Amino acid sequence: MIKKIYNLSIFLIFLIFTVIYLRYINYGLPFFLNNDEGSFLKSTIYFFYFFSEKYKYLSDPFFAPFFNFVIVSILALVYGFLNFDVFEITKQIYFDPSLLIIFGRLASLLICVTGVFFSYLILKKLKISKILIINLLVSLCFSFFFFRYSNS
């Protein structure tokens, strides 16, 4: 019984964390409020150019923009499949570039949730008490670490 309550509380922490930050997924669009979003957009577009016929040299670090590119591409394909126009997704992004920012914010949220989940797995592997794990996850999920200060 205690194990079910523990698993339910861990699930609820992740669910509440995701729902809270999912509310802010389209704040301020079509304008960019964070300076990081401009650099994110530049590095992601460089990778789109890199894999297209218009080759450009990458000026940013390699791995973080590459992971952003992969996740944004997967999210764009899922969006295209859900709207039944996979081949028109490039035109939709061209005419509404805020879609690329929304996909980037979703990718950032997925990476944050994955990072918190790996923290949970590490804490569980270290055999730290369950009450302490719950307290650490709650304090990590609802701290200002993931909060964007430009939202306020």
Q: What is the pLDDT of residues 106-137, one digit of tens each?
A: 888 888 889 889 999 999 999 999 899 999 98
- Range of 140's domain? 2-151
Average pLDDT rounded to a whole number, residues 24-40: 66
Query: Is residue 65 reached through a cis peptide bond, with omega within 30 degrees of 0 on the bond before it?
Result: no
Mean pLDDT, the chain, rounded, equals 78
For residue 146, pLDDT over 70 is answered with no
Domain count, the chain: 1
pLDDT digits (tens, 9 = 90+) for 132-145: 999 998 888 887 77
Question: For residue 59, what are the contacts with CB-CB under 8 A and spacing of at least 6?
Answer: 46
> Counting Cβ atoms within 10 Å, is residue 66 exposed (0-12), middle (13-18) or buried (19+)?
middle
